Structures are given as structure tokens and as C-alpha cells.
DNA sequence: TATATTTTATGCGTTCAGTCATAACCTGTT
DNA sequence: AACAGGTTATGACTGAACGCATAAAATATA
């Protein structure tokens, strides 16, 4: 999902620079903006009592994030934190609604986005509930491969650390490392110098 | 999310009776309908290789289900199985699109539905990833309580078996039973004759 | 009221991911 | 080249949920 930046600007959207590590919005807070990433990288995470992160999604340029409150008026379901120095563009909620009203096609695209996100949640949830690290990891990698997210298109190398994979599957780094090694020895996964290729 | 039944009928929707245990649609199959439950109960589930079910959602009357393919043209993300003898109403995909186009407000309601479903997925996923049965269970019960789903409004009794709770949290029945007993002894949960009250 | 079926309950051995500690390996920087 | 910081790797121990078996209780059915 991506709204043309010129369109956004024409409707009064504003750019905002965020430094790596900066929190863009907090889980539980009220919202009044549509957010879209222009450049950089953002992770959409829940942080538990012990400080452990669960990464719901990694946002790449031209993707929107933090969209739930726009429709159900609830708070943010997770925090958005910049992984790298990033530029975001945001549009006021009321304006966003007007924009959708005047562009039904855009609204349909948005429904497609929500659907795709739900689809991914269904998929990953079903795997996590299964308590099979290998399946969880391959489902996750399969998704990233399919959507071309966090993959170096030039060399086909996955740009995810074991820690990130762990934080998206509810596993520990060590478990992810051990499981992936075992997958490599089975031939299920191609790892060169610790990096995953697909 | 509910579309008025008279409206659906006026647009050419058709009723369909399904017996308890009957599969309404299969995970992975192509779809061409909007589905809404009129009466009865339906579970929306994934079934793994060993036959173990993961219940994504339990659908109650006046709720729609199986809606992903309507927007992204993908297959069903989970199977729908009747828990009880039920009546469903379904509308052709193309007609559904037309209905949304002519009723922008309805489309906004639909976005709200998708958002709420996503919100629940975020919530439950974050808990599952945390590997804390007690938290998973209370989050789930909290959700059902909040949405009044599967709760006997007359006596405030939760109409969910431990097995169903297990199938929605990826835990085993025994673990759910044991955890809930411990919660009861802590005073976190009120159980009378094995049934949960809230 | 008696019977059958489903649901809840409990014990016990096993398994596998978690935890902690430590080392090796990359990668970028001065 | 040397250093620092992050990432990957590996071992040993622990613990909590699993898996299976069996029983008790509640609910439905006749």
C-alpha cells in the first residue's frame, strides 16, 4: 500500500525526519495521522514487561504503518521504531478519510493491504501455535522471499539477522541459529558465511 | 461487520443450510462469495498435518467470514466448519464489490472490521510469542469478554471449552486446564463447576 | 432415572526450547 | 593493521509444556 507522495503533499501531508532508534509512536497512544515511510526502515513492535521485543512487521519504503486507529478509532496496537535514519510522511486523519471518500479505488487498495496483512497474521499465527521452530522460520522466510522484503535483490541475500527472525517468531536467537544450521545440513536452507540466500 | 439481510437478498444473495461438522469452504480453495452467518456457529480454522486444529476465529451470527479473497483474490486462508447446524447467506463476489462501491459508508464499516480483526491478531500473536500460557489465556478471555462473543449474556458464563481455548492459543487441553486452575487459586479467574464466569 | 458422551481433572515421565556462558567470526572504522 | 561492536556459533544445564493414561464430574440423551 502506497499513496503517491505528490498526492499526499497536495492534501497537506508533511515530511518528518526520524533518527535510528527513535520512537515514531507508542503502543497504546491515541493517533491522528496516516503514516507512510519514504526512506529508511521502521519496525512495528510490541515490547513486553521484560523488555523483549516482538516485531509485528518490518516496514520498508513506500509502505504505510500504524493504520488501525484510522478506521476503528482505537489506540496504536504496536510501537513504531526507526531501525535506520528514516523519513516519514504523515497526513491528518480527517484528511485521509476525505481522500479515501473521493478516491474509491484507493479505498479498495487499502482494503487489499489490510487483507494482505491479515493473511500474513493468519499464516504466522498458525505456525507459531504449532510450536515447530523449523516451520515457523521457513514460513517467515517464505513470506519475506515472496514479498521481496528485506532481500538484497542484487545478490539474493536475506537482510535479516537471526535476532530479528527470533523477534518475529517468538523464539530465542540461539534456537533460531541452531534450527537454521540444522535446516542447512538438511539442504532446506542455503547459508554462506552465516548469511541466508534464497 | 454485518450487512442487512434484506439488502443482501435484494442484491441476489442466497441462503444455505449447513449441518454441524460440515465444511463450508476449504483452506487454499478459490473463492467467489461473500459469506455471512445468519444463525448457528462457525469456526474458522487451520488444520495441520497431524490433524490438530488452530482456531483463528469463532464466528457468531451476523458476522461475515472468509473475506480475504474478496479483496486480494487469493485463496481462503483457513477453512470454515460449522460448529452447530447453521444457516449462512452468501453473495457473489462481483455483486459484493458493486454493493461496496454504491455504499461508501459500508466500505468504511468493512475497513473497521478488517482493522478489528487485525488488532486481535496483533494482540494474540504478541502473547503467543511470549510463551506464557497464563497471559495467552487471559488475553483471549479478555477479548471474548470485551466483544461479548461466546458469553451467555444471561448468566455471564463463558461458552468456551478448554479444548477450544487450547485450539486458539496453541496450547494443550491439559495445560489450559492446569493453568486455569492455578489462575482460579490466585483469584484471577472465577470458575464454578468447571465453568468460567466473568 | 439410568445411560452415554462430552468435558474437566490429575499423575508422571519425556522432550525440547530456554537460559547462561563463552568463543569465533564477520564488518566497518580509525 | 588493529580495534570495536555486532552477529553467529556451540556447550551444558534447567524447566515448563507436552504426551499419554486414567479417572471424575458434568451434561446430554433415552
| Claim to verify: residue B17 and residue B107 sit in the same structural domain | yes
Confidence of residue A98 (pLDDT cuts 50, 70, 90): very high
In whole angstroms, C6 C1' to B194 CA is: 13
Minimal Cβ distance to B72: which of A68, A70, A112: A112
Q: Of B85, B120, B155, which residue sits at a domain end? A: B120
Closest residue by Cα to residue B141 from B194, B72, B189? B189
Whether residue B139 is contained in a domain is answered as: yes
| Claim to verify: residue A89 and residue A116 sit in the same structural domain | yes
Domain count, chain A: 2
| Claim to verify: residue A13 and residue A69 sit in the same structural domain | yes
Q: Of B96, B120, B144, which residue sits at a domain end? A: B120
Q: Of A87, A120, A153, which residue sits at a domain end? A: A120
Give me the pLDDT at residue A193, please: 78
Confidence of residue B19 (pLDDT cuts 50, 70, 90): very high
CA–CA distance, B176 with B156 (Å, rounded to integer): 20
Bases on strand D under 7 Å from any protein CB: 6-12, 16-21, 25-27
| Claim to verify: residue B141 and residue B165 sit in the same structural domain | yes
Whether residue B125 is contained in a domain is answered as: no
Best of A27, A97, A118, A175 to disrupt the B interface by mutation (most B CBs within 10 Å)?
Answer: A118
Give me the pLDDT at residue A192, please: 82
Note whether B107 and A107 are within 8 A (CB): yes
| Claim to verify: residue B113 and residue B140 sit in the same structural domain | no
Vertex B184 angle, CA B182 and B189, to 5°: 125
Distance from CA of B125 to the nearest CA of A (A): 6
Whether residue B158 is contained in a domain is answered as: yes
Enumerate the β-bridge partners of residue B195: B192
Note whether A133 and A171 are within 8 A (CB): yes
Question: Chain B contacts of A48, Cβ < 8 Å?
Answer: 126, 130
Average pLDDT over residues B145-160: 85
B119 touches chain A (CB under 8 A): yes
- CATH number, domain of B143, equals 1.10.10.10
| Claim to verify: residue A109 and residue A138 sit in the same structural domain | no
Statement: residue B1 has pLDDT above 70: no
Q: What is the DSSP letter of A51?
A: S
CA–CA distance, A166 with A158 (Å, rounded to integer): 15
| Claim to verify: residue A91 and residue A170 sit in the same structural domain | no
Statement: residue B192 has pLDDT above 90: no
| Claim to verify: residue A18 and residue A88 sit in the same structural domain | yes
Minimal Cβ distance to B68: which of A71, A101, A119: A119
| Claim to verify: residue B108 and residue B140 sit in the same structural domain | no
Burial class (CB in 10 A: 0-12, 13-18, 19+), A44: buried
A96 touches chain B (CB under 8 A): no
Average pLDDT over residues B143-149: 90
CB contact under 8 A, B126 and A72: no
Give me the pLDDT at residue B51, please: 87
Q: Of A13-17, B13-17, B30-34, B188-192, give the lowest mean pLDDT range.
A: B188-192
Question: Chain A contacts of B105, Cβ < 8 Å?
Answer: none
| Claim to verify: residue A26 and residue A93 sit in the same structural domain | yes
In whole angstroms, C16 C1' to A130 CA is: 14
CA–CA distance, A65 with A62 (Å, rounded to integer): 10
Domain that holds residue A168: 132-197
Q: Which residue of A has its CA nearest to B133?
A: A129
Statement: residue A153 has pLDDT above 90: no
B48 touches chain A (CB under 8 A): yes
Give me the pLDDT at residue B57, please: 95
| Claim to verify: residue A10 and residue A108 sit in the same structural domain | yes
Q: Which residues of B73-112 are buried (b: 16+ CB within 10 A; e: fewer)?
A: ebebbbbbbbeeebebbbbebeebeebbeeeeebbbebbb
Confidence of residue A176 (pLDDT cuts 50, 70, 90): very high
Whether residue B153 is contained in a domain is answered as: yes
Q: Of A78-87, B72-81, B185-194, give the lowest mean pLDDT range.
A: B185-194
Confidence of residue A103 (pLDDT cuts 50, 70, 90): very high
Whether residue B126 is contained in a domain is answered as: no
Average pLDDT, chain A: 94
Best of A1, A125, A164 to disrupt the B interface by mutation (most B CBs within 10 Å)?
Answer: A125
Checking each nucleotide's C1' against the CA of A172, the nearest proves to be C18
| Claim to verify: residue B23 and residue B94 sit in the same structural domain | yes
Whether residue B127 is contained in a domain is answered as: no
Confidence of residue A15 (pLDDT cuts 50, 70, 90): very high
B54 grid coordinates? 488452530
Whether residue B129 is contained in a domain is answered as: no
Average pLDDT over residues B64-83: 96
- CATH number, domain of B49, equals 2.60.120.10
CB contact under 8 A, A68 and B119: yes
Whether residue A52 is contained in a domain is answered as: yes
Give me the pLDDT at residue A1, please: 65
Q: Which residue has the higher pLDDT, A2 or A143?
A: A143
Amino acid at each position: 500500500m502506497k499513496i503517491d507522495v505528490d498526492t499526499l503533499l497536495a492534501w497537506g501531508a508533511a515530511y518528518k525526519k526520524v533518527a535510528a532508534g527513535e520512537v515514531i509512536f507508542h503502543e497504546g497512544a491515541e493517533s491522528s495521522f496516516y503514516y507512510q515511510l519514504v526512506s529508511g526502515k521502521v519496525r512495528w513492535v510490541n515490547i513486553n514487561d521484560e523488555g523483549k521485543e516482538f516485531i509485528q512487521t518490518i516496514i520498508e519504503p513506500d509502505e504505510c504503518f500504524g493504520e488501525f486507529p484510522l478506521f476503528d478509532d482505537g489506540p496504536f496496537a504496536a510501537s513504531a521504531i526507526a531501525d535506520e535514519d528514516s523519513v516519514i510522511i504523515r497526513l491528518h486523519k480527517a484528511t485521509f478519510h476525505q481522500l479515501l471518500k473521493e478516491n474509491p479505488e484507493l479505498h479498495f487498495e487499502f482494503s487489499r493491504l489490510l487483507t494482505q496483512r491479515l493473511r500474513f497474521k493468519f499464516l504466522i499465527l498458525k505456525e507459531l501455535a504449532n510450536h515447530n521452530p523449523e516451520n515457523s522460520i521457513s514460513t517467515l522466510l517464505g513470506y519475506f522471499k515472496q514479498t521481496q522484503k528485506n532481500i538484497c535483490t542484487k545478490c539474493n541475500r536475506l537482510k535479516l539477522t537471526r535476532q530479528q527472525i527470533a523477534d518475529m517468531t517468538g523464539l530465542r536467537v540461539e534456537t533460531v541459529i541452531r534450527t537454521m544450521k540444522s535446516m542447512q545440513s538438511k539442504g532446506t536452507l542455503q547459508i554462506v558465511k552465516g548469511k541466508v540466500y534464497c
